[in-house]
Structure 1
Amino acid sequence: MREFTVPPVEAAPHVGGLADAVFDHASTEPGRVALGRKDASGVWRDVTAARFRDEVLALAKGLIAQGVRFGDRVALMSRTRYEWTVFDFALWTIGAQSVPVYPTSSAEQVFWMLHDAEVTACVVEHEDHAMTIGSVVDRLPRLKRLWQLDAGAVHELSAAGTDIDDEVVHRHRRAVTPESVATIIYTSGTTGRPKGCVITHANFMFETDTMIGRWEPVFHSKPGDEASTLLFLPLAHVFGRMVEVAAIRGGVKLGHQPVLQASALLPDLATFRPSFILAVPYIFEKVFHAARRKAEADGKAGPFDKAVDVAVRYAEALEHKAFGLGPGPSAALRVQHQFFEKLVYTKVREAMGGRVRHAMSGGSGMERRLGLFFEGAGVTIFEGYGLTESSAAATANPPERTRYGTVGMPIPGTTVHIAEDGEIWLHGGHVFSGYLNDPKATGAVLNDGWLATGDLGALDEDGYLTITGRKKEILVTSGGKSVSPAGLEERVRSHPLVAQCIVVGNDRPYIAALITVDPEAVEHWLAIQGRPPLKPAELVRDPVLETELRRAVVAANTLVSQAESIRTFRILAHPFSEEHGLLTPSLKLKRKAIELAYEAEVDALYG
Structure 2
Amino acid sequence: MAEGTALRQADFSNDTTVVGLLARNAKEIGSQVAVKEKDFGIWQEYTWQDYLDNSIYFAAGLEVLGFQAEEALLLIGDNRPDLYFGTVGVSALRGSPMPAYPDANPQEVLSFAHESRVRYAFVEDQEQVDKLLDLREEIGTLEYIIYSDPRGLAAYSAPGLVSYAEVIEKGQQAIQANPALYDDLVTRAQPSDAAIFVHSSGTTGKPKGVILKHRNVLAGVRNGFQGGSLEKNEVIMGYLPMAWIGDYAFTVAAGIALQWQLCIPEQQETLLRDMREIAPTFYLAAPRSWDNMLTNIQVGMQDAPRFKKAVYHYFMDLGFKVEKKRFEGQAPSLWERINRVVGEFFVYGPIKDAMGLSRIRTAYTGGEAMGEDTFLFYRSLGVALRQLYGQTESSAFNSTQSKDEVRLHTAGKPLPGVIVKIDESGELLLKSESNFEGYYENEKATVETLVDGWLHTGDAGYLEEDGHIVVLGRLSEVVYTAKGERFIPNYIENRIKFSPYVKDVAVLGRDRDELCAMVCIDIDAVGNWAELQGISYISYADLSQKPTVYDLVRDAIAHVNETLPEPLQIKRFSNLHKEFDPDDGEITRTRKLRRKVVEERYTDVIEALYSDKKEVTVKAQITYDTGETGTIERNLSIREV
- Please indicate, yes or no, whether the TM-score normalized by the shorter chain is above 0.5: yes
Work out the CA distance in 2 between the residues paired with 1:580 and 1:255: 33
Contact 1:491 1:555 in 2 (8 A): no
Work out the CA distance in 2 between the residues paired with 1:481 and 1:380: 35
Does residue 1:286 correspond to 2:281, yes or no? no
Q: Deviations over 1:289-341 (max 9, x none)?
A: 32233233122333222211211222234445xxxx33x22101112212211
Q: CA deviation at 1:362?
A: 0.5
- The 1:450/1:217 distance shift into structure 2, 3 A limit, reads closer
Contact 1:514 1:570 in 2 (8 A): yes
Question: Match for residue 311 of structure 2?
Answer: 303
Identity, % of aligned positions: 26
Partner letter of residue 99 of structure 1?
A: M
Question: Match for residue 110 of structure 2?
Answer: 111
Work out the CA distance in 2 between the residues paired with 1:470 and 1:8: 32
Contact 1:6 1:411 in 2 (8 A): no
Question: Match for residue 247 of structure 1?
Answer: 255
Partner letter of residue 42 of structure 2?
A: V
Q: Deviations over 1:27-86 (max 9, x none)?
A: 1111111111222x2211221111222211221211111111222221112222222211
Q: 1:227 aligns with which of 221, 227, 234?
A: 234
Partner letter of residue 465 of structure 2?
A: E
1:419-568 equivalences under 5 Å are: 419-529=423-533, 531-532=535-536, 535-568=539-572
Work out the CA distance in 1 between the residues paired with 2:565 and 2:408: 23
Contact 1:5 1:415 in 2 (8 A): no
- The 1:390/1:9 distance shift into structure 2, 3 A limit, reads farther
Work out the CA distance in 2 between the residues paired with 1:421 and 1:558: 31
Question: Match for residue 386 of structure 2?
Answer: 382
Contact 1:62 1:160 in 2 (8 A): yes
Three-state SS of the structure 2 residue aligned to 1:234 is: coil
Q: CA deviation at 1:213?
A: 3.9
Partner letter of residue 346 of structure 1?
A: G
Does residue 1:38 correspond to 2:45, yes or no? no
Question: Match for residue 17 of structure 1?
Answer: 17
Work out the CA distance in 2 between the residues paired with 1:239 and 1:561: 35
Question: Aligned residue pairs: how many?
Answer: 590
- The 1:523/1:514 distance shift into structure 2, 3 A limit, reads same
Partner letter of residue 282 of structure 1?
A: R
Contact 1:395 1:408 in 2 (8 A): yes
Does residue 1:366 correspond to 2:370, yes or no? yes
Question: Match for residue 598 of structure 2?
Answer: 594
Partner letter of residue 47 of structure 1?
A: Y
Partner letter of residue 276 of structure 2?
A: A
Does residue 1:274 correspond to 2:280, yes or no? yes
Partner letter of residue 249 of structure 1?
A: A
Three-state SS of the structure 1 residue aligned to 2:504 is: strand
- Calculate the TM-score normalised by the size of structure 1: 0.91
Q: 1:159 aligns with which of 143, 154, 169?
A: 169
Q: CA deviation at 1:451?
A: 0.6
Does residue 1:192 correspond to 2:199, yes or no? no
Partner letter of residue 240 of structure 1?
A: D
1:42-441 equivalences under 5 Å are: 42-151=41-150, 153-164=163-174, 165-215=178-228, 227-244=234-251, 245-257=253-265, 264-298=270-304, 299=306, 300-320=308-328, 325-326=329-330, 328-353=331-356, 354-441=358-445
Work out the CA distance in 2 between the residues paired with 1:595 and 1:251: 46
Contact 1:60 1:90 in 2 (8 A): yes
Three-state SS of the structure 1 residue aligned to 2:529 is: helix
Contact 2:427 2:459 in 1 (8 A): yes
Q: Deviations over 1:538-579 (max 9, x none)?
A: 433333332332232223334443333322111123322223
Does residue 1:580 correspond to 2:602, yes or no? no
- The 1:597/1:264 distance shift into structure 2, 3 A limit, reads farther
Three-state SS of the structure 2 residue aligned to 1:546 is: helix
Q: Which has the higher contact order (CA 8 A, sep 6+)?
A: 1
- The 1:107/1:6 distance shift into structure 2, 3 A limit, reads farther
Q: CA deviation at 1:161?
A: 1.9
Three-state SS of the structure 2 residue aligned to 1:432 is: coil
- The 1:540/1:216 distance shift into structure 2, 3 A limit, reads closer
Partner letter of residue 157 of structure 1?
A: V
Return 250-259 or 431-440, whichever deviates more.
Answer: 250-259
Work out the CA distance in 2 between the residues paired with 1:301 and 1:96: 55
- The 1:537/1:24 distance shift into structure 2, 3 A limit, reads closer
Three-state SS of the structure 2 residue aligned to 1:150 is: coil
Partner letter of residue 361 of structure 1?
A: T
Q: Deviations over 1:201-255 (max 9, x none)?
A: 1011111233234447767xxxxxx631102110111011111221122111002
Q: CA deviation at 1:446?
A: 0.5
Q: Deviations over 1:419-464 (max 9, x none)?
A: 2222111111111100011111100010111111111112222222
Partner letter of residue 251 of structure 1?
A: Q
Three-state SS of the structure 1 residue aligned to 2:201 is: coil
Work out the CA distance in 1 between the residues paired with 2:236 and 2:219: 20
Work out the CA distance in 2 between the residues paired with 1:257 and 1:504: 39
Contact 1:492 1:552 in 2 (8 A): yes
Three-state SS of the structure 1 residue aligned to 2:493 is: helix
- The 1:457/1:5 distance shift into structure 2, 3 A limit, reads farther
Q: CA deviation at 1:153?
A: 2.6
Question: Match for residue 222 of structure 1?
Answer: none
- The 1:7/1:421 distance shift into structure 2, 3 A limit, reads farther
- The 1:576/1:248 distance shift into structure 2, 3 A limit, reads same
Work out the CA distance in 2 between the residues paired with 1:259 and 1:279: 17
Q: CA deviation at 1:470?
A: 1.1
Question: Match for residue 223 of structure 1?
Answer: none
Three-state SS of the structure 1 residue aligned to 2:398 is: strand
Work out the CA distance in 2 between the residues paired with 1:141 and 1:65: 22
Work out the CA distance in 2 between the residues paired with 1:188 and 1:15: 30
Contact 1:196 1:435 in 2 (8 A): yes
Contact 2:83 2:124 in 1 (8 A): no
- The 1:126/1:603 distance shift into structure 2, 3 A limit, reads farther
Q: What is the root-mean-square deviation of aligned Cα atoms in Å? A: 2.5
Work out the CA distance in 2 between the residues paired with 1:230 and 1:175: 30
Three-state SS of the structure 1 residue aligned to 2:460 is: strand
- The 1:170/1:94 distance shift into structure 2, 3 A limit, reads farther
Partner letter of residue 311 of structure 1?
A: G
Contact 1:6 1:413 in 2 (8 A): no
Q: CA deviation at 1:533?
A: 5.4
